[in-house]
Amino acid sequence: MEPTRDILIVDDDRQVRDVLHQIFLTAGYNCRLAQDGREGVAMFRAARPPLTVTDLKMPVMTGIELLQQVREVDGDAAVIVLTGAADVKTAIESLKLGAYDFIMKPVNVDELLIAADRALERRQLLVERRQYHAMLESRVEQATHHLAAAYRELESTYRATLEALGSALDTRDVGTEAHSRRVHGYALATAREYGFAEVELRDLAHGVLLHDIGKIGIPDSILLKPGPLTAEEWGIMRTHPEIGRRLIEKIPFLRGAVPIVYAHHEKWDASGYPRGIGGEDIPVGARIFSVVDAFDAMTFDRPYSKAIPFDAAKAELKRCAGSHFDPAVVEAFLRVPEPLLEEIRRRSAEP
């Protein structure tokens, strides 16, 4: 794109002004004329010409002052200063302030026009480079936005898949339909009360939804057995945390869920399984899960037990705090508002 050939000529000498006007008019420039620096700055503010040619020594406002004010208005403005032999030092100083070039008087027409053309070209390159960088930044921003949206959509798909998988696992365990969705909601609410940051909730959510994924490896003859399990059958059933760990630990997206899947049957007093660890050796996500899982088991009808009221279930959690459950997690759960617990339970029954 050809640079706009508009020029502002600033000189207090009318004769010099007229000569410069004729030189640039003949060369195809659109000219504006100012008789001092103050008038020149006013014209520049109004018209923003890409090129300014100014004398250095002028009354009212010097060329140096004009240069400074013009560059404040437009950092890309191309400015050429005209100077006599006595002001060469000042002219050189003007270069440090952003002037493109200085021309010695008396002016050589060819030298002046070449300097003007180069100044406009340089300005145009600066403008185009800035526009190019802005365009690149805009594209990067758009790409980042699209990538973030795609990632959110992918996460949403993962979450829906995990919820479906959790529900499918529930259907294999008689009487626990929608159990994973309820426990998922209770666990997130408890974790927030416990002090989890929002960014920490994803792994907890995945672990809760997949806590029983290891039951995929348990024979239906054991998993769906209507009566009590034999000691040998219990031994097989207790392998499901290890099976679950092996299933998901090699999936990067789900690696944060492993501690819950592997430790969700451990107890605070170390009487659980599969490792028999206790206290704070149990991952905090698993400690949260054990509390909300027990609450759900007590407040929802199962083939082998009838639901009890929320208050009774909370009293039982308090009684077992320090033995089965982490007391601090129990306290966090008890701070969850009961209307929220009711809402989580109601939503879990929705299709």
Q: Label the pairing between strands 78-83 and 51-55.
A: parallel
What are the phi and psi torsion angles at 240 (to 5°)? -65, -30
Active-site annotation holder among 215, 250, 267, 318: 215
Q: Is there a cis peptide before residue 106, judged by omega within 30 degrees of 0?
A: yes
How far apart, in whole angstroms, are the C-alpha atoms of residue 210 and residue 188? 14
List the beta bridge partners of residue 54: 10, 81
Please name which of 119, 65, 59 lies closest in space to residue 94, comparing C-alpha atoms. Answer: 65
Contact between residue 203 and residue 285 where contact means Cβ atoms under 8 Å apart? yes
Annotation says 250 is catalytic:
no
How far apart, in whole angstroms, are the C-alpha atoms of residue 6 and residue 4? 6
Helices 310-320/327-334 angle, 10° precision: 160
For the record, the structure tokens of 122 come out as 């340089």
Which residues are the active-site residues? 215
